[in-house]
Structure 1
């Protein structure tokens, strides 16, 4: 049995670890809870930061919108022009690479990025249905889906409790808000949120 400072996954049965191994998912062992939480937050940050960095570095190059400019009957776009193929592709590539560099399975990075981007698309869809303008701030809606969806999906892999997930979502919101202001001052973001 593990105490608070021991490895998170040593309490998993060998059958659980074998199941993930057979599915090609690396189970993280030999790591304290806080280290795993930091790694998860880094992966969430990369997943959500790569589209912003890509926009700053590439400007309008390769910025084809995911919704193809589709306008729904409510007169609003499906997602909006800011949600691009470039952003999703670079999010997945950057997060997979970061997972590998953190000695995690690169597929974990892929899943975190894909699910985070799906959460982001869901929030953009809702914001458009609420007739909020492109890039309008919607506290909570802008942060929670992109952190919560991957955390719920990866709950078993990381052996996360509901309290862990809630704490990670809160930490993600705090870090996202703080880093957004820093990136705005560095002229990497267009807005401080």
Structure 2
């Protein structure tokens, strides 16, 4: 049961920015990096990483955590760390000069699942095996759900 709850929280944390983009389009879409370009000529994160996405991810994940009878602080930590993992992935992709929305299997999933699970490891007594299984399950679910959301015209492209 706990594993399913944690997967739901990971899904909410990572899916909220996608739904926010679809529903709000360009409203409140201020880039998190403020358009900062580094010395390599690439943006810090890129225009698709928005303040709106991070804030809504944290708020929605905390709310869903409460609905699942999990402490809202754990939900907040999971969302924050998931967004940090996503920002890390974007930072690395920009340093590799990959275009916005470029897909890199593993880099697009592992940090945004691993970091939040490590953040709540002690609270939920997660073992390394638990974390590995949850990361793999997250990757599989993300690929499947990405294709469904693409067919529903919620995502711009499937993974």
Q: Which of the five TM-score ranges fits, normalised by the shorter chain?
A: over 0.9
* Structure 2 equivalent of residue 64 of structure 1: 30
| Count of residue correspondences | 159
Question: How far apart, in 2, do the equivalents of 1:82 and 1:64 lie?
Answer: 9
Q: Deviations over 1:134-177 (max 9, x none)?
A: 00010000000000001112111110110110000000000001
Give the secondary-structure state (helix, strand or coil) at the position aligned to 2:122.
helix
Name the residue aligned to 1:85.
51
TM-score of the two chains, using structure 1 as the length reference: 0.82
**Residue 39 (structure 1) aligns with:** 5
Distance 1:151 1:192 in 2: 25
In structure 2, distance between residues paired with 1:108 and 1:163: 20
Larger Rg: 1
Structure 2, unpaired ranges of 5+: none
Superposition misfits of 4+ residues, deviation over 2 angstroms: none
Deviations 1:15-72 (A, max 9, x none): xxxxxxxxxxxxxxxxxxxx00000000000000000000000000000000000001
For structure 1, the residue ranges without an aligned partner over 5 or more in a row are: 1-34
SS at structure 2 position matched to 1:70: coil
Deviation at 1:107, TM superposition (A): 1.1
